[in-house]
Amino acid sequence: MRIDRTRLHDTVLAGVVAAASVTVFVLYGPGRLQAEGLPIDGLREPDPLGALFVVLACVPVAVRRRWPLAALCAGLVPETLLTVLGYSGGLSGISGLVLLYTVASRRGLAVALGGLLIALTAYVLGTGAGPVRAGTWSDHVVAAIVLMAVWGVGRSLRLRRAYLEELKDRAARLERAYAADTRAARAEERSRIARELHDVVAHHVSVMTVQAAAARRVLASDPDLAREALSAIEHTGRLAMTEMRNIVGVLRTDARAELGPQPGVQDLPSLVDQMREAGLPTRLQMEGDPRPLPAGVDLAAYRLVQEGLTNSLRHAGSGAKAVVTVRHEPRELDVRVEDDGRGTAGLSARTGHGLVGIRERVALYGGILSIGPLPGGGFEVRARFPLKDGQ
């Protein structure tokens, strides 16, 4: 069975205050006070009834944390009766101060003000209706100041506790927000890395697969052509390994990657040449006045052409041709990849992760992407990237 330590402490405190109050109540009767030169007019001798009131005034301290206002009212009633009947309260006034402090520190402002008003009212009633006429106005003012000071200490403690709780809550909210931001950043970084890996691996592997198939078909009839295809496969594999090494090197924290510029629109001629070598007749058309592009848009345009040509190589069929058109306009970059292959027949095969990654890239820079078959046959991947003035 678990023991409530706070309630045990309050019970012990109530017992100590009650024992001390009863002791003082019994020892300091009218005769003892008169011997010390204190006024005793109207003061009654200690008796069991008075001792009972003293105990009753201290008992509510045991439940002060659970029912603060009720405990204050329950403690003030016997304490006021002690004063009204002319008994010496001993140290029972300490319990009243403890209860007032508890109300101020554990309840809202309205309830705390009500407790202070009740305590002041009980003091006024006790001193006004009691038979003992002791003390001056300054004594009453001091008593009132003591009550308000105890109340103020309790309110200060409550405000400080509320401030600390708010700081803890704010720290917890910031920690949760930081964790959420970290998870979002990691997810975004994983998505970006997945796009880069797919764009690099899928393109080069597709080129190598087509070249390997061509080499296998002509291996017996035309060894020289097969040898050229195998050389192209080797070159493409080395290029893929280089790009993969660069990407992985960026991810490693214990090694410094050999960083180089990201590919862009200026690298499209070499990409088109590579696709021609892989067996896809490709033509590049540059329209408008070329100008420097934002790095992100430049890379996204290159990856779009790379993915579009890779899909044409894989799905357009034999004999298909591709056209890459890059149009520079004052406020827009228009990039288009078209082929005259199987069109709608190859649509289901062209909706893989690569086109999903391209869609994410285009959306990231506010572009408009259209993917689908052409009316006269073939397939098109087109993106229009908005450009700001001066870009």
Can you give the pLDDT at residue 384? 93
What is the predicted pLDDT for the residue at 77? 87
Q: Domain boundary at 134, 162, 196, which?
A: 134
**Pick from 134, 159, 190: which residue ends a domain?**
134
- Residue 358 domain-assigned? yes
Total number of domains constituting the chain: 2
The whole-number average pLDDT for the span 228-256 is 68
Tokens 């190859």 correspond to: 346
Residue 256 lies in a domain: no
Residue 49 placed within a domain: yes
Instruction: Note whether residue 271 is domain-resident.
Output: no
Summarised one tens digit per residue, pLDDT across range 23-73 is: 877 776 666 655 555 555 556 777 888 888 888 888 888 888 888 899 888
pLDDT of residue 1: 45
Lowest mean pLDDT among 138-142, 143-147, 227-231, 250-254: 250-254
Instruction: Please check whether residue 160 lies inside any domain of the structure.
Output: no
Q: Is residue 268 part of a domain?
A: no
Over residues 173-214, the pLDDT tens digits come to: 888 888 888 887 777 767 766 666 666 666 677 777 777 877
Contacts of residues 348-357 at CB distance under 8 Å and 24 or more positions apart, as own/partner, are: 349/314, 349/315, 350/311, 350/315, 350/379, 353/194, 353/198, 353/202, 354/198, 354/199, 354/202, 354/307, 354/310, 354/311, 355/307, 355/311, 355/381, 357/194, 357/195, 357/198, 357/199, 357/303, 357/307
Residue 271 CA to residue 99 CA, distance in Å, equals: 85
Average pLDDT over residues 377-385: 91
Residue at 219 is within a domain: no
Three-state secondary structure of 215-248: HHHHCCCCHHHHHHHHHHHHHHHHHHHHHHHHHH
Choose the most confident range, by mean pLDDT, from 40-49, 241-250, 329-338: 329-338
φ/ψ of 183, rounded to 5, equals: -65, -40
Query: Which CATH number do you get for residue 295?
Result: 3.30.565.10
The whole domain housing 356 covers 280-391
Tell me, yes or no, whether 285 lies in a domain.
Answer: yes
More confident residue, 247 or 281: 281
Please give the pLDDT value at position 338: 93
Question: Of 134, 156, 173, which residue sits at a domain end?
Answer: 134
Does position 255 have pLDDT exceeding 50, yes or no?
Answer: no
CB 210 within 8 A of CB 278: yes
Q: Is the pTM of this model over 0.75?
A: no
